Structure 1
Amino acid sequence: MSSGNEFMRLREKLGLTQRQVAEAIGVTDQTVSNWERGVYAPKLTPRQTAKLCQTLSLTVQELADLLEPEKQPES
C-alpha cells in the first residue's frame, strides 16, 4: 500500500477531512489530496511537521515512517 493511502486511511480513521488537515498545517486541501494520491510528497516546515504530528496524534518518527516513499524492488 502506498504511503498516500496509509495517510488517507489514518486521516479518515481519525474522522478528519482533507480540509481540516490542510487548515491545521497551513496548506490547501488540494495539497493534502495530492499527497494522498501520490502526486507529491509532503514538503513541510518544522512547524508544519509539528502541527501535522499533533493533528494526527503521531510522533515525528511515526509520521516519517508513514510518509516514507515505498522502496521499489531492484531489478
Structure 2
Amino acid sequence: MSSEGIESTFVSLRKELGLTQEDIANELEVTPRTVINWENGHSEPRLSIRQVKKLCALFKRPIEQIPDDFFANKNTETLTN
C-alpha cells in the first residue's frame, strides 16, 4: 500500500477482501467507530506490533506493504523477526 490515499486504499482493500469495518475492529480490538474514523481520515491508525501483524494477516499483505502511518513505532526488522 502506498502512503498516498491511505484511507481509500484501506477501504478498497477491506472491501476487496469482503471484510466489514466491524471485522477489522474486532480483530484489532478497537471500536468500529475507530475504523470509520481511519477510513474517513478523521484519525490515523497507531497500531501496536501485535495489531500490525493481525492487520497483515487480515489484508494478506507483508509488513512492507502497510503504510508507515499505521504504526505507533515502525521497526520492520523487529516486526519480521
With structure 1 as the length reference, what TM-score do the two structures score?
0.81
Q: CA distance change for structure 1 residues 66 and 5 in 2, over 3 Å: closer, same or farther?
A: farther
Q: Higher RCO, 1 or 2 (CA under 8 Å, sep at least 6)?
A: 1
30, 37, 41: which is aligned to 2:40? 37
Aligned length: 67
Q: Is the 8 A contact 1:7 1:66 kept in 2?
A: no
Q: Is the 8 A contact 2:46 2:69 kept in 1?
A: no
Tell me whether 1:49 sits opposite 2:38 in the alignment: no
SS at match of 2:37: helix
Query: What's the Cα RMSD here?
Result: 1.7
Percent identity between the aligned chains? Answer: 37
Gaps of 5+ in 2: 71-81
Could you list the per-position Cα deviations for residues 4-45 of structure 1 after superposition, in whole angstroms to 9, with x for gaps in the alignment?
A: 011000000000000001101111111111111011110011
TM-fit CA distance, 1:66: 8.4
Q: Is the 8 A contact 1:53 1:60 kept in 2?
A: yes
Q: CA distance change for structure 1 residues 65 and 13 in 2, over 3 Å: closer, same or farther?
A: farther
Q: Is the 8 A contact 2:28 2:54 kept in 1?
A: yes
Residue equivalent to 2:22:
19
